[in-house]
Amino acid sequence: MVFGASSLWASDVQHTKLLRIDPKTNRVLAQIRIGKPLDFVDDQDQVDGWVAVGDGFVWATDQWHNRVVRINPATNRVVASIRVASPWDIAVSDGAVWVPQFEPYAVARIAEATNKIAKRIPATGPTAVAAGAGSIWVVMHRADEVIRVDPRTNTVIATIRRARAKSPERAFFLFGSLWVSDGNETHSLLRIDPASNRVVAVIKPPGSFFVNFLFAGGRWLWDVSPAGGVYKIDPATNRIVEQVHVDPPSKCGAPPAPQPCFFGAGYADGTVWAYDQVRQAIIRISD
């Protein structure tokens, strides 16, 4: 999920469409078809949907059909479709849309002016991208590294290695720092200072098998874990100041539980939004 254009946008992967939700009324304003619906019911976490809002448009991945689509929020219509193999996350910055390609081992730069891939930057198993501090940051899941890309030259200007990292997964640029979830094994959230390209803090949310969704709301960071936990983090101290478990841990996330409880989250109108797979509903959690 992502907030933008006065709406909350949620990816419905099974039906290959976007839901546009009014955070003031909790009503679905539009259901936007972005591709052919999947012809199977349970993909066992093999298909993901990513959404970004920037430069007046909404961008979404259609991972199963290897596409990225551009949506005009004024009309709720798809205005462009770009073929991108294995799209994994999406970010909008510097007049371009940046999309990690997991299987081709690259990051695609789509020029907004042409709706075409203008450049591919090599990356080893990339799973996340974030924009901040004048750079594009890419998590390389298969290399236990983060690369920093200069969008003016499309060149890698720094490589951040973690000797003890285990499959870093997601990236978020918030409160002047890059935050990286450090996979299923270490259960950590890493804070990277763009001034030094070094890890300056490591946060371990208790009861979370990995950090999956992180976003800013007010003066706080919010970590929503697939294990059914929501954590409020103070970025001034790098400490967890409050936590709540919405679903019983026995039902969530790691074996022998069948699936994550939370998958997809965002922040809008003073509340945390999350898709709860136990309830099969989008829920709101007051901050």
Tokens describing residue 226: 């697939």
Most confident of 129-138, 198-207, 225-234, 264-273: 129-138
Assess if residue 260 is contained within a domain. yes
Tokens describing residue 266: 């965002």
Q: Are 231 and 276 in contact (CB under 8 A)?
A: no
Q: What is the rounded distance in angstroms from the CA atom of residue 264 to the CA atom of residue 247?
A: 15
Most confident of 26-35, 45-54, 179-188: 26-35
Assess if residue 131 is contained within a domain. no
Assess if residue 174 is contained within a domain. no
Assess if residue 286 is contained within a domain. yes
Return the CATH number at 265. Answer: 2.40.10.480
Q: How far is CA 22 from CA 3, 5, 123, 187, in A?
A: 10, 10, 37, 33
Domain containing residue 219: 208-287
Assess if residue 151 is contained within a domain. no
Q: Are 124 and 145 in contact (CB under 8 A)?
A: yes
In this structure, of 25-29, 88-92, 208-212, 217-221, the range with the lowest mean pLDDT score is: 208-212
- pLDDT more than 70, % of the chain: 89
Residue 282's CB is within 10 A of a number of other CB atoms, namely 19
In this structure, of 73-82, 155-164, 233-242, the range with the lowest mean pLDDT score is: 155-164
pLDDT category of residue 159 using cuts at 50, 70 and 90: very high
Assess if residue 55 is contained within a domain. no
Token pair 């939370």 in the structure block, residue: 262
Assess if residue 246 is contained within a domain. yes
- Computed on alpha carbons and rounded to an integer, the radius of gyration of the chain in Å comes to 18
Assess if residue 279 is contained within a domain. yes
Indicate whether 252 pLDDT > 80.
no
pLDDT tens for each residue of 182-233: 765 567 889 999 999 999 999 887 665 556 688 898 899 998 887 778 889 9
What's the structural domain count of the chain? 1
**What pTM did the predictor assign?**
0.92
More confident residue, 131 or 37: 131
Amino acid present at 13? V
Contacts of 163 (CB under 8 A, 6+ apart): none
